[in-house]
Chains A and B, each alone.
Chain A
Amino acid sequence: MVAASRRAVLLGGLAAAALAGCGERRTPVRRRSAPAPTATPPAQADVLRPLIEIKARAVALYAGHAALERLHAQEEEHLTRLLRAAPGRPIVFANGMAPADLEREMLAAELVVLPRLTDAGLRLLVGAMFATDAEHLAVLRRAAGRFPVPRAFVTGAP
Protein backbone atom coordinates (compact mmCIF):
# COMPACT_ATOMS: atom_id res chain seq x y z
CA MET A 1 0.00 0.00 0.00
CA VAL A 2 1.29 3.46 -0.79
CA ALA A 3 1.65 5.94 2.06
CA ALA A 4 -0.65 8.90 1.62
CA SER A 5 2.24 11.33 1.92
CA ARG A 6 4.35 9.67 -0.74
CA ARG A 7 5.28 12.08 -3.46
CA ALA A 8 3.66 11.10 -6.61
CA VAL A 9 5.19 11.48 -9.99
CA LEU A 10 2.33 12.41 -12.16
CA LEU A 11 2.95 11.46 -15.74
CA GLY A 12 0.72 13.94 -17.35
CA GLY A 13 -2.49 15.28 -15.99
CA LEU A 14 -5.97 13.91 -15.96
CA ALA A 15 -6.38 14.95 -19.54
CA ALA A 16 -8.93 12.61 -20.97
CA ALA A 17 -7.90 11.71 -24.44
CA ALA A 18 -10.46 11.04 -27.06
CA LEU A 19 -9.54 7.63 -28.36
CA ALA A 20 -12.38 7.25 -30.76
CA GLY A 21 -11.11 6.29 -34.16
CA CYS A 22 -7.52 6.40 -33.02
CA GLY A 23 -6.79 2.88 -34.20
CA GLU A 24 -8.53 3.43 -37.49
CA ARG A 25 -6.11 6.17 -38.48
CA ARG A 26 -3.21 3.72 -38.57
CA THR A 27 -2.27 2.01 -41.76
CA PRO A 28 -3.17 -1.65 -41.42
CA VAL A 29 -0.32 -4.14 -41.64
CA ARG A 30 -0.55 -6.24 -44.79
CA ARG A 31 0.02 -9.95 -44.32
CA ARG A 32 0.22 -12.33 -47.24
CA SER A 33 -1.11 -15.35 -45.40
CA ALA A 34 -3.24 -13.64 -42.81
CA PRO A 35 -6.15 -15.83 -41.79
CA ALA A 36 -9.62 -14.62 -42.58
CA PRO A 37 -10.81 -12.50 -39.64
CA THR A 38 -13.45 -14.24 -37.53
CA ALA A 39 -14.18 -11.25 -35.31
CA THR A 40 -13.64 -7.51 -35.31
CA PRO A 41 -9.97 -6.93 -34.43
CA PRO A 42 -9.41 -4.76 -31.35
CA ALA A 43 -8.53 -1.12 -31.99
CA GLN A 44 -4.76 -0.71 -32.21
CA ALA A 45 -4.84 1.79 -29.37
CA ASP A 46 -6.42 -0.83 -27.10
CA VAL A 47 -3.77 -3.34 -28.07
CA LEU A 48 -1.03 -0.88 -27.09
CA ARG A 49 -2.62 0.14 -23.78
CA PRO A 50 -1.02 -2.54 -21.50
CA LEU A 51 2.39 -1.78 -23.00
CA ILE A 52 1.88 1.94 -22.38
CA GLU A 53 1.09 1.24 -18.72
CA ILE A 54 4.28 -0.81 -18.28
CA LYS A 55 6.37 1.85 -20.00
CA ALA A 56 4.83 4.54 -17.80
CA ARG A 57 5.73 2.51 -14.72
CA ALA A 58 9.29 2.07 -15.94
CA VAL A 59 9.62 5.81 -16.56
CA ALA A 60 8.33 6.54 -13.03
CA LEU A 61 10.66 3.96 -11.46
CA TYR A 62 13.78 5.03 -13.34
CA ALA A 63 13.28 8.74 -12.76
CA GLY A 64 15.88 10.38 -10.51
CA HIS A 65 18.30 7.43 -10.47
CA ALA A 66 21.64 8.57 -11.88
CA ALA A 67 22.66 5.04 -12.89
CA LEU A 68 19.42 4.63 -14.83
CA GLU A 69 19.47 7.98 -16.57
CA ARG A 70 19.98 6.50 -20.04
CA LEU A 71 17.32 3.85 -19.50
CA HIS A 72 14.94 6.50 -18.26
CA ALA A 73 15.48 8.68 -21.31
CA GLN A 74 14.99 5.78 -23.69
CA GLU A 75 11.88 4.44 -21.98
CA GLU A 76 10.46 7.94 -21.93
CA GLU A 77 11.03 8.17 -25.67
CA HIS A 78 9.31 4.80 -26.14
CA LEU A 79 6.39 6.07 -24.12
CA THR A 80 6.16 9.30 -26.11
CA ARG A 81 6.02 7.38 -29.37
CA LEU A 82 3.42 4.95 -28.09
CA LEU A 83 1.28 7.84 -26.85
CA ARG A 84 1.26 9.31 -30.35
CA ALA A 85 -0.52 6.16 -31.49
CA ALA A 86 -2.73 5.83 -28.43
CA PRO A 87 -3.24 9.09 -26.52
CA GLY A 88 -4.31 8.95 -22.89
CA ARG A 89 -1.36 9.06 -20.56
CA PRO A 90 -1.55 6.79 -17.49
CA ILE A 91 -0.70 8.25 -14.09
CA VAL A 92 1.91 6.37 -12.08
CA PHE A 93 3.33 6.99 -8.59
CA ALA A 94 7.06 7.23 -7.88
CA ASN A 95 7.11 3.63 -6.61
CA GLY A 96 5.68 2.38 -9.88
CA MET A 97 2.19 1.85 -8.53
CA ALA A 98 -0.71 3.23 -10.52
CA PRO A 99 -3.61 5.01 -8.77
CA ALA A 100 -5.95 2.64 -10.57
CA ASP A 101 -4.24 -0.31 -8.85
CA LEU A 102 -4.63 1.43 -5.52
CA GLU A 103 -8.34 2.02 -6.14
CA ARG A 104 -8.77 -1.60 -7.17
CA GLU A 105 -7.03 -2.70 -3.98
CA MET A 106 -9.41 -0.55 -1.95
CA LEU A 107 -12.44 -1.96 -3.76
CA ALA A 108 -11.32 -5.53 -3.13
CA ALA A 109 -10.73 -4.76 0.56
CA GLU A 110 -14.14 -3.08 0.91
CA LEU A 111 -15.82 -6.07 -0.68
CA VAL A 112 -14.18 -8.38 1.86
CA VAL A 113 -15.04 -6.11 4.79
CA LEU A 114 -18.71 -5.52 3.88
CA PRO A 115 -20.19 -8.88 4.96
CA ARG A 116 -18.11 -8.88 8.13
CA LEU A 117 -19.81 -5.72 9.35
CA THR A 118 -22.82 -6.44 11.53
CA ASP A 119 -23.64 -2.76 12.06
CA ALA A 120 -25.98 -1.58 9.28
CA GLY A 121 -24.69 2.00 9.53
CA LEU A 122 -21.10 0.90 8.98
CA ARG A 123 -22.18 -1.28 6.06
CA LEU A 124 -23.86 1.72 4.45
CA LEU A 125 -20.74 3.82 5.04
CA VAL A 126 -18.43 1.25 3.43
CA GLY A 127 -21.02 0.67 0.69
CA ALA A 128 -21.00 4.35 -0.22
CA MET A 129 -17.19 4.31 -0.17
CA PHE A 130 -17.29 1.32 -2.53
CA ALA A 131 -19.52 3.27 -4.93
CA THR A 132 -17.25 6.31 -4.80
CA ASP A 133 -14.08 4.26 -5.28
CA ALA A 134 -15.70 2.53 -8.26
CA GLU A 135 -16.33 6.02 -9.65
CA HIS A 136 -12.68 6.95 -9.04
CA LEU A 137 -11.63 3.93 -11.07
CA ALA A 138 -13.96 4.94 -13.89
CA VAL A 139 -12.46 8.46 -13.92
CA LEU A 140 -8.90 7.05 -13.98
CA ARG A 141 -9.77 4.65 -16.80
CA ARG A 142 -11.28 7.50 -18.78
CA ALA A 143 -8.16 9.61 -18.20
CA ALA A 144 -6.04 6.76 -19.51
CA GLY A 145 -8.14 6.60 -22.66
CA ARG A 146 -10.05 3.46 -21.68
CA PHE A 147 -13.77 2.86 -21.54
CA PRO A 148 -14.73 3.69 -17.92
CA VAL A 149 -17.08 0.73 -17.34
CA PRO A 150 -15.60 -2.41 -18.92
CA ARG A 151 -17.46 -4.93 -16.73
CA ALA A 152 -20.91 -5.49 -15.27
CA PHE A 153 -19.56 -6.40 -11.82
CA VAL A 154 -16.99 -4.29 -9.97
CA THR A 155 -14.81 -6.50 -7.80
CA GLY A 156 -11.46 -4.75 -7.73
CA ALA A 157 -10.00 -7.37 -10.08
CA PRO A 158 -7.68 -5.98 -12.77
Chain B
Amino acid sequence: MTGLTRRHALVAVATAPLALRAADAPAAASTDAAVVSELLRAELLLQRSYELCAASGPRRVRALARRFRAHEVEHAAALAQALEALGGRGLTAPRTRAEVEAAARSLGVGPSLTAARSRRGRLRHLLALEERVLGALHAALGRLDDDKLLQTVATILGCQAQHLVVLRTALGRRALPRVLDAGRP
Protein backbone atom coordinates (compact mmCIF):
# COMPACT_ATOMS: atom_id res chain seq x y z
CA MET B 1 0.00 0.00 0.00
CA THR B 2 1.25 3.53 -0.65
CA GLY B 3 2.21 6.13 1.97
CA LEU B 4 -0.34 8.45 3.51
CA THR B 5 -1.22 11.29 1.16
CA ARG B 6 -3.23 14.39 1.98
CA ARG B 7 -6.30 12.81 0.35
CA HIS B 8 -5.86 9.63 2.35
CA ALA B 9 -5.74 11.76 5.48
CA LEU B 10 -8.96 13.52 4.49
CA VAL B 11 -10.70 10.23 3.88
CA ALA B 12 -9.36 8.94 7.18
CA VAL B 13 -10.95 11.91 8.93
CA ALA B 14 -14.18 11.25 7.10
CA THR B 15 -14.19 7.63 8.20
CA ALA B 16 -13.01 8.27 11.78
CA PRO B 17 -16.51 8.21 13.28
CA LEU B 18 -16.84 4.62 12.11
CA ALA B 19 -15.01 3.31 15.16
CA LEU B 20 -17.46 5.00 17.52
CA ARG B 21 -20.45 3.96 15.50
CA ALA B 22 -19.21 0.39 15.42
CA ALA B 23 -19.19 0.29 19.21
CA ASP B 24 -22.75 1.60 19.36
CA ALA B 25 -24.20 -0.65 16.70
CA PRO B 26 -22.21 -3.85 16.31
CA ALA B 27 -24.72 -5.48 13.97
CA ALA B 28 -24.73 -2.54 11.56
CA ALA B 29 -20.94 -2.31 11.70
CA SER B 30 -20.64 -5.98 10.94
CA THR B 31 -22.86 -5.57 7.86
CA ASP B 32 -20.90 -2.49 6.81
CA ALA B 33 -17.64 -4.38 7.24
CA ALA B 34 -18.90 -7.17 4.99
CA VAL B 35 -19.98 -4.66 2.33
CA VAL B 36 -16.70 -2.73 2.51
CA SER B 37 -14.72 -5.96 2.34
CA GLU B 38 -16.55 -6.88 -0.87
CA LEU B 39 -15.87 -3.45 -2.36
CA LEU B 40 -12.21 -3.53 -1.35
CA ARG B 41 -11.79 -6.89 -3.06
CA ALA B 42 -13.25 -5.45 -6.27
CA GLU B 43 -11.11 -2.30 -6.08
CA LEU B 44 -7.95 -4.33 -5.50
CA LEU B 45 -8.74 -6.42 -8.57
CA LEU B 46 -9.23 -3.27 -10.61
CA GLN B 47 -5.99 -1.81 -9.24
CA ARG B 48 -4.01 -4.92 -10.19
CA SER B 49 -5.65 -5.08 -13.62
CA TYR B 50 -4.62 -1.50 -14.35
CA GLU B 51 -1.17 -2.30 -13.01
CA LEU B 52 -0.81 -5.17 -15.48
CA CYS B 53 -2.12 -3.03 -18.35
CA ALA B 54 0.29 -0.23 -17.38
CA ALA B 55 3.23 -2.59 -17.42
CA SER B 56 2.80 -4.07 -20.87
CA GLY B 57 0.61 -3.95 -23.96
CA PRO B 58 -0.50 -1.16 -26.27
CA ARG B 59 1.14 2.19 -25.44
CA ARG B 60 -2.07 4.24 -25.28
CA VAL B 61 -3.68 1.76 -22.90
CA ARG B 62 -0.55 1.77 -20.75
CA ALA B 63 -0.70 5.56 -20.35
CA LEU B 64 -4.38 5.47 -19.41
CA ALA B 65 -3.90 2.52 -17.05
CA ARG B 66 -1.16 4.38 -15.18
CA ARG B 67 -3.48 7.30 -14.47
CA PHE B 68 -6.44 5.16 -13.47
CA ARG B 69 -4.32 2.83 -11.36
CA ALA B 70 -3.37 5.82 -9.19
CA HIS B 71 -7.08 6.42 -8.53
CA GLU B 72 -7.64 2.78 -7.62
CA VAL B 73 -4.76 2.89 -5.15
CA GLU B 74 -6.45 5.81 -3.39
CA HIS B 75 -9.83 4.05 -3.41
CA ALA B 76 -8.35 0.87 -1.97
CA ALA B 77 -6.53 2.86 0.73
CA ALA B 78 -9.74 4.63 1.75
CA LEU B 79 -11.71 1.38 1.88
CA ALA B 80 -8.94 -0.43 3.75
CA GLN B 81 -8.94 2.32 6.38
CA ALA B 82 -12.70 2.12 6.68
CA LEU B 83 -12.55 -1.65 7.00
CA GLU B 84 -9.93 -1.40 9.71
CA ALA B 85 -12.07 1.12 11.61
CA LEU B 86 -14.95 -1.35 11.41
CA GLY B 87 -12.79 -4.10 12.85
CA GLY B 88 -12.57 -6.01 9.58
CA ARG B 89 -9.58 -7.97 8.35
CA GLY B 90 -7.29 -6.49 5.74
CA LEU B 91 -7.19 -7.88 2.22
CA THR B 92 -4.35 -8.20 -0.25
CA ALA B 93 -4.58 -7.63 -3.97
CA PRO B 94 -4.42 -10.71 -6.23
CA ARG B 95 -0.70 -11.17 -6.87
CA THR B 96 -0.14 -13.26 -9.93
CA ARG B 97 -1.67 -12.78 -13.35
CA ALA B 98 -3.47 -16.11 -12.86
CA GLU B 99 -5.04 -14.81 -9.62
CA VAL B 100 -6.10 -11.60 -11.34
CA GLU B 101 -7.67 -13.54 -14.17
CA ALA B 102 -9.44 -15.94 -11.84
CA ALA B 103 -10.88 -13.00 -9.89
CA ALA B 104 -12.04 -11.34 -13.12
CA ARG B 105 -13.63 -14.61 -14.29
CA SER B 106 -15.49 -14.89 -10.98
CA LEU B 107 -17.07 -11.54 -11.82
CA GLY B 108 -18.04 -12.85 -15.24
CA VAL B 109 -15.51 -10.62 -17.01
CA GLY B 110 -13.85 -12.13 -20.03
CA PRO B 111 -11.84 -12.64 -22.15
CA SER B 112 -8.83 -12.69 -19.86
CA LEU B 113 -6.18 -9.97 -19.94
CA THR B 114 -3.75 -12.45 -21.46
CA ALA B 115 -6.15 -13.19 -24.30
CA ALA B 116 -7.11 -9.51 -24.72
CA ARG B 117 -3.80 -8.20 -26.08
CA SER B 118 -5.00 -5.65 -28.62
CA ARG B 119 -5.82 -2.07 -27.65
CA ARG B 120 -9.54 -2.65 -28.10
CA GLY B 121 -9.40 -6.00 -26.31
CA ARG B 122 -7.71 -4.46 -23.29
CA LEU B 123 -10.11 -1.52 -23.23
CA ARG B 124 -13.12 -3.83 -23.47
CA HIS B 125 -11.80 -5.91 -20.58
CA LEU B 126 -11.23 -2.84 -18.41
CA LEU B 127 -14.63 -1.43 -19.35
CA ALA B 128 -16.35 -4.67 -18.30
CA LEU B 129 -14.45 -4.67 -15.01
CA GLU B 130 -15.31 -1.04 -14.31
CA GLU B 131 -18.98 -1.74 -15.06
CA ARG B 132 -18.95 -4.55 -12.47
CA VAL B 133 -17.21 -2.43 -9.86
CA LEU B 134 -19.64 0.42 -10.46
CA GLY B 135 -22.49 -2.06 -10.01
CA ALA B 136 -21.03 -3.25 -6.69
CA LEU B 137 -20.50 0.32 -5.44
CA HIS B 138 -24.00 1.30 -6.43
CA ALA B 139 -25.58 -1.72 -4.73
CA ALA B 140 -23.56 -0.90 -1.59
CA LEU B 141 -25.30 2.48 -1.32
CA GLY B 142 -28.51 0.66 -0.49
CA ARG B 143 -26.84 -1.54 2.14
CA LEU B 144 -24.45 0.67 4.10
CA ASP B 145 -25.45 2.01 7.48
CA ASP B 146 -22.75 4.57 8.26
CA ASP B 147 -23.37 8.03 6.78
CA LYS B 148 -19.74 8.99 6.23
CA LEU B 149 -18.92 5.64 4.73
CA LEU B 150 -21.89 5.98 2.40
CA GLN B 151 -20.50 9.31 1.18
CA THR B 152 -16.99 7.92 0.74
CA VAL B 153 -18.37 5.06 -1.36
CA ALA B 154 -20.40 7.53 -3.43
CA THR B 155 -17.31 9.65 -4.17
CA ILE B 156 -15.51 6.50 -5.38
CA LEU B 157 -18.54 5.53 -7.46
CA GLY B 158 -18.40 8.95 -9.15
CA CYS B 159 -14.78 8.37 -10.13
CA GLN B 160 -15.48 4.91 -11.56
CA ALA B 161 -18.36 6.38 -13.57
CA GLN B 162 -15.92 8.94 -15.02
CA HIS B 163 -13.47 6.16 -15.88
CA LEU B 164 -16.30 4.57 -17.85
CA VAL B 165 -16.72 7.74 -19.91
CA VAL B 166 -13.04 7.63 -20.90
CA LEU B 167 -13.08 3.91 -21.71
CA ARG B 168 -16.34 4.12 -23.70
CA THR B 169 -15.02 7.09 -25.66
CA ALA B 170 -11.74 5.33 -26.37
CA LEU B 171 -13.75 2.41 -27.76
CA GLY B 172 -15.86 4.75 -29.92
CA ARG B 173 -18.97 4.04 -27.89
CA ARG B 174 -21.50 6.52 -26.54
CA ALA B 175 -20.08 8.24 -23.48
CA LEU B 176 -23.47 8.55 -21.79
CA PRO B 177 -25.53 5.46 -22.63
CA ARG B 178 -27.80 5.50 -19.54
CA VAL B 179 -30.03 8.05 -17.84
CA LEU B 180 -29.25 6.37 -14.52
CA ASP B 181 -25.92 4.59 -14.46
CA ALA B 182 -25.86 1.78 -11.93
CA GLY B 183 -23.16 -0.24 -13.67
CA ARG B 184 -23.61 -4.00 -14.11
CA PRO B 185 -24.88 -6.15 -11.26
Contact = CB atoms under 8 A, between A and B. Distances in A.
A66 to B, nearest CB: 39
Contact of B68 (A128, A134, A136, A149): A149
B66 to A, nearest CB: 12
Interface residues on chain A, size class: 20 to 34
Nearest to A149: B162
A139 B165 contact: yes
Given A135-B165, A149-B162, A154-B155, A127 B74 contact: no
A127 B67 contact: no
B99 interface: no
A153 B11 contact: yes
Nearest to A107: B158
Nearest to B74: A152
Interface string B141-162: 1110001101110111111111
B141 A127 contact: yes
B142 A131 contact: no
Interface range on chain B (Cβ under 8 Å from partner): 35 or more
A109 to B, nearest CB: 12
Interface in B164-185: 164-166, 169, 175-176, 178-183
Best-surrounded residue of A107, A138, A153, A154 (most CB of chain B within 10 A) = A153
A155 interface: yes
Interface string B1-28: 0000001000100000000000000000
A111 B175 CA distance: 23
A120 interface: yes
Q: Main SS of chain A's interface residues?
A: helix
Nearest to A141: B162
B156 A153 contact: yes
B141 A135 contact: no
B147 A115 contact: yes
B183 A131 contact: yes
A31 B124 CA distance: 47
Interface string A124-142: 1101111111111111001
B176 A132 contact: yes
Contacts of B143: 120
B182 A135 contact: no
A114 interface: yes
Contacts of A30: none
A124 B150 CA distance: 11
The 3 A-B residue pairs with the shortest CB-CB distance in the complex, in nearest-first order: A154-B158, A134-B158, A115-B147
30 contacts: A111-B155, A115-B150, A120-B142, A120-B143, A123-B142, A124-B138, A124-B142, A130-B154, A130-B161, A131-B180, A131-B181, A132-B161, A132-B176, A132-B181, A133-B158, A134-B157, A134-B158, A135-B162, A135-B165, A138-B162, A138-B175, A139-B165, A142-B175, A148-B162, A149-B67, A152-B71, A153-B152, A153-B155, A153-B158, A154-B161
Interface of A: 107, 110-111, 114-115, 120-121, 123-125, 127-139, 142, 147-149, 151-155
